[in-house]
Amino acid sequence: MNILLWIRFILGTFLLICGMLLFVVEIISVFKLDYVLNRMHAAATGDTFGIGLSIIGLVILNGWNFTSLKLLLVLVFLWFSSPVSSHLIAKLEVITHEGEDKYEKEER
């Protein structure tokens, strides 16, 4: 039984650390990328995967109880809301054509 607790601890900690590393990569890429849609894609992908890994790691560390169920419901809500909001921001960017002149000049 003690070995299962250690395996659960190691797996949960590994997923939590991977989620935090994805957040660091997301933050760096948001500051380094130039185009708005690239920054938005990096932020949305980092949020979706980083939050997913972090919350799954917390569920594994916490064990199966009512708190884990609430964490999974938060995860489901974030998985539905983050891509939808990113899509709406991208659609607004395409409609308003912000930053289009800079990249058209580079292509010529």
75: its two tokens? 């995860």
Among candidate residues 93, 7, 8, the one with its CA nearest the CA of residue 44: 93
Distance of CA 91 to the CA centre of its chain: 20
11: its two tokens? 């797996």
Q: Is the pTM of this model over 0.85?
A: no
| Confidence band of 14 (pLDDT split at 50, 70, 90) | very high
How confident is the model at residue 92, as a pLDDT? 82
Which of 29-32's residues contact partners 24+ apart within 8 Å by CB, and which partners? none
**pLDDT tens by residue, 42-71:** 888 888 899 999 999 999 999 889 999 999
**Domain locations along the chain:** 2-107
Contact 57, 19 (CB under 8 A): yes
